[in-house]
Amino acid sequence: MNISNASEHFIEVNGVNLRYFSWGSESNPKMICLHGHTGQAHIWDKFAQEMSENYHVLAFDQRGHGGSSYAADGYDRDKFVNDLDAIIETLKIDRVTLVGLSMGGWHSILYTSEFHPEKVEKIVIVDIGPESSEEFKKSFEDNGVRVEPKIKFESFEEAFNEARSNNPWVSNENLTQDLNNRLNQNKDGTWQWKADPNLIIPPLKDGTDENLIRRYWEGLAKINCPILEIQGMESTLLSSELKEKMIAAAQNLTWIEIPNAGHVVTVDQPELFIEATREFLS
């Protein structure tokens, strides 16, 4: 899509060079958008364009993703959160609204609860919680054995067809655009994810690491600024039991469900996502 109103920038923090896009006047209130695991900043294009009327929107490729550099010191969850802290300090941001999809939501929770709660105005969390449903965990298994994700595809069509098989809700146009932003074509004609393979192959430990799960729950309970959870209705990541538990644990949590959307709501239903966030952010 056309993001002519966005400018591309790079910032060096904690030994990694991070790419980000900026929308809107620098005099506007600040908003930082964080994508999910193996994602990239362009998932926010339509949302950021709309929000730039009222916000200075900064959408980052997090370490090891998109146009940002791979990280020699790894991808432990706290590395990402330390990057977010360094970004906010380096850019001298005093107050910010955080918008995080999937792992970007985890980073928003940990930063706000463990670093600077006084700096965060509001948080939008997209389809993520302190832990995942049992149904979601099993979706990565075949007869109880974990299915290894593919890193390389023989053609763009192969990548498209695999993505489509897992997501019947996204439009062909949005899926094609998303894949073009997430894939590079190699010299031999194959296509490969832009994310560091060291991010893709090992399974995320957040769903099984009791310490991380505890920190997410404790963090959610500590935060007193308004939080909006946006869930894709077709996503299995959050069960109705987890929804009730999160609403009970949080001090100020609003929950909105978006129809005909899976996990990456901003790609599946960008217009409905924008509509759902307008009242909360205003």
**pLDDT of the chain along its 282 residues, tens only?**
445 589 999 999 999 999 999 999 999 999 999 999 999 999 999 999 999 999 999 999 999 999 999 999 999 999 999 999 999 999 999 999 999 999 999 999 999 999 999 999 999 999 999 999 989 988 776 666 767 889 999 999 999 999 999 999 999 999 999 999 999 999 999 999 999 999 998 889 998 899 999 999 999 999 999 999 999 999 999 999 999 999 999 999 999 999 999 999 999 999 999 999 999 998
Q: What is the chain's mean pLDDT, rounded?
A: 95
Nearest Cα to Cα of residue 169 among 124, 105, 235: 235
Residue 277: other Cβ atoms inside 10 A: 21
What is the CATH code for 6-137+207-281? Answer: 3.40.50.1820
Q: Are 20 and 42 in contact (CB under 8 A)?
A: no
What is the structure's pLDDT at 2?
44
Sorted by where each begins, the domain ranges of the chain are: 6-137+207-281
Q: How far is it, in rounded angstroms, from Cα 216 to Cα 110?
A: 7
What is the structure's pLDDT at 4?
55
| Alpha-carbon distances of 202 from 75, 76, 152, rounded to whole Å | 11, 12, 16
Structure tokens at 85: 């802290």
What is the structure's pLDDT at 149?
87
200: exposed, middle or buried (C-beta count within 10 Å: 0-12, 13-18, 19+)? middle
218: exposed, middle or buried (C-beta count within 10 Å: 0-12, 13-18, 19+)? middle
Nearest Cα to Cα of residue 41 among 282, 264, 277, 280: 264
Residue type at position 21: F
What is the structure's pLDDT at 43?
98
Kindly report, residue by residue over 33-57, the tens digit of the pLDDT.
999 999 999 999 999 999 999 999 9
What is the structure's pLDDT at 252?
98
Q: How far is it, in rounded angstroms, from Cα 195 to Cα 184?
A: 10
What is the structure's pLDDT at 1?
41
